[in-house]
């Protein structure tokens, strides 16, 4: 393991910024999120996780997919040219990196690959940061994650008092370490004491939850749970793993325009409304059920991991306290044959 003095962090960020487009956690307009690094004027935020996840870097909230032209005897479709510079994502926590692996499953695994996501993901080098403490709404450990390290990172950083410990998990990570060594920013000696395990104020039992939910599609619990939901969608927009989207059209004139992808939410009635007016999820019951079944049942059955990473953002911001941890507790208590 290599070591970096915390006082030299801005020198490291300057070096990284020369290797690609560097994103760091920082406060922007009163909200903490991942922003392009702008030198020492960027106030890097490392105290806690950000309010907004880094999902929007790899999967933007709004993006143009392609432009088209029709009529005049020709029909053309032109993908939007977007030659991505190498991305470096610095300071990602385990919960958000786990969410990125979920997005990889959705957009990269299978017969159909999302090319725009793939282009960004393939250029991205991820530098993860261990958590120094668990927030009041954090429960990643209950979802099977290690808040101190994630092996899918290229480079893992550990918080040791006055030092950061750096450990490479990939060739890209090893190349970064070599580059930083050439700038005399790392040492082989440091206070490598074991990082203490975090104490979580919030814990939930997940054992058997997927199997239990398999028999609960028509359970009356969903009516009870949905009664307080506002269908505001804040949970889905803050979630680092949610990936629902809609595609709309922007017309330049009668013959040409573009297709635009925007984040959507399974909490909205319009998300599943069909062209003829039929809606397979007409009420709050069906929409709320879909959200929790997807995260805790369908996704684990298909990909072997939960679509909830325990980041706690939805718990912190839900205006009516409809918390996924409470839903899991209720599910564990009910009878399947009700």
Per-residue pLDDT tens over the stretch 81-121: 666 789 999 999 999 999 999 999 999 998 899 999 999 99
First-to-final CA distance of the chain: 54
Quickly state the pLDDT bin for 26 (edges 50, 70, 90).
very high
| Spatial separation of the C-alpha atoms in residues 301 and 214, rounded to whole Å | 10
Whether residue 163 sits in one domain with residue 45: yes
Whether residue 242 sits in one domain with residue 164: no
pLDDT above 70 (res 48): yes
Pairing type for strands 124-129 and 155-160 reads parallel
Query: Could you tell me what percent of the chain has a pLDDT over 70?
Result: 97
Closest by Cα among 62, 54, 65, 44 to 88:
54
* Predicted local distance difference test score (pLDDT) of residue 336: 58
* Predicted local distance difference test score (pLDDT) of residue 196: 73
In a domain, 74, yes or no: yes
In a domain, 154, yes or no: yes
Whether residue 169 sits in one domain with residue 216: no
In the three-class reduction of DSSP (H, G, I as helix; E, B as strand; rest coil), residue 318 is classed as: coil
In a domain, 190, yes or no: no
Total length of the chain: 338
In a domain, 102, yes or no: yes
In this structure, the number of other CB atoms found within 10 A of the CB of residue 314 comes to 21
How many domains is the chain built from? 2
Residue pair 154/168 in contact by the 8 Å Cβ criterion? yes
Residue pair 294/283 in contact by the 8 Å Cβ criterion? no
Question: Domain range spanning residue 52?
Answer: 2-182
Mean pLDDT value of segment 308-336: 93
Whether residue 272 sits in one domain with residue 162: no
Q: Count CA atoms closer than 13 A to 107's CA, side-chain side.
A: 23
In a domain, 197, yes or no: no
User: Structure pTM?
Assistant: 0.94
């Amino acid at each position: 393991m290599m070591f970096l003095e915390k006082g030299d962090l801005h020198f490291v960020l300057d070096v990284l910024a020369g290797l690609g487009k560097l994103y760091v956690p920082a406060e922007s307009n009163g909200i903490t999120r991942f922003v392009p690094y702008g030198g020492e004027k960027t106030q890097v935020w490392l105290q806690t996780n950000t309010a907004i996840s880094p999902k929007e870097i790899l999967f933007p909230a709004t993006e143009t997919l392609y432009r088209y032209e029709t009529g005049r005897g020709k029909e053309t479709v032109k993908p939007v040219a977007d030659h991505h510079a190498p991305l470096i994502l610095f300071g990602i926590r385990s919960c958000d990196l786990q969410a990125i692996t979920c997005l990889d499953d959705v957009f990269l695994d299978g017969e159909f690959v999302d090319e725009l996501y793939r282009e960004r993901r393939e250029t991205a080098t991820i530098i993860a940061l261990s958590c120094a403490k668990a927030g009041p709404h954090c429960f990643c450990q209950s979802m099977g994650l290690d808040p101190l390290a994630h092996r899918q990172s290229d480079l893992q950083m550990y918080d040791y008092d006055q030092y950061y410990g750096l450990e490479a998990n990939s060739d890209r990570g090893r190349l970064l370490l070599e580059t930083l060594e050439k700038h005399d920013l790392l040492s082989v000696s440091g206070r490598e004491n074991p990082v203490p395990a975090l104490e979580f104020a919030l814990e939930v039992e997940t054992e058997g939850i997927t199997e239990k939910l398999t028999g609960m599609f028509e359970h009356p619990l969903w009516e009870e749970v949905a009664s307080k939901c506002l269908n505001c969608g804040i949970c889905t927009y803050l979630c680092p793993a949610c990936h629902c989207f809609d595609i709309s059209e922007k017309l330049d004139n009668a013959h040409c325009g573009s297709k635009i992808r925007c984040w959507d939410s399974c909490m909205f009635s319009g998300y599943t409304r069909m062209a003829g007016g039929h809606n397979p999820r007409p009420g709050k019951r069906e929409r709320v059920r879909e959200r929790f079944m997807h995260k805790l049942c369908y996704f684990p059955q298909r990909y072997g991991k939960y679509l909830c990473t325990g980041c706690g953002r939805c718990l912190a911001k839900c205006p009516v306290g409809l918390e996924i941890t409470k839903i899991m507790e209720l599910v564990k208590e009910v009878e399947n044959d009700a």
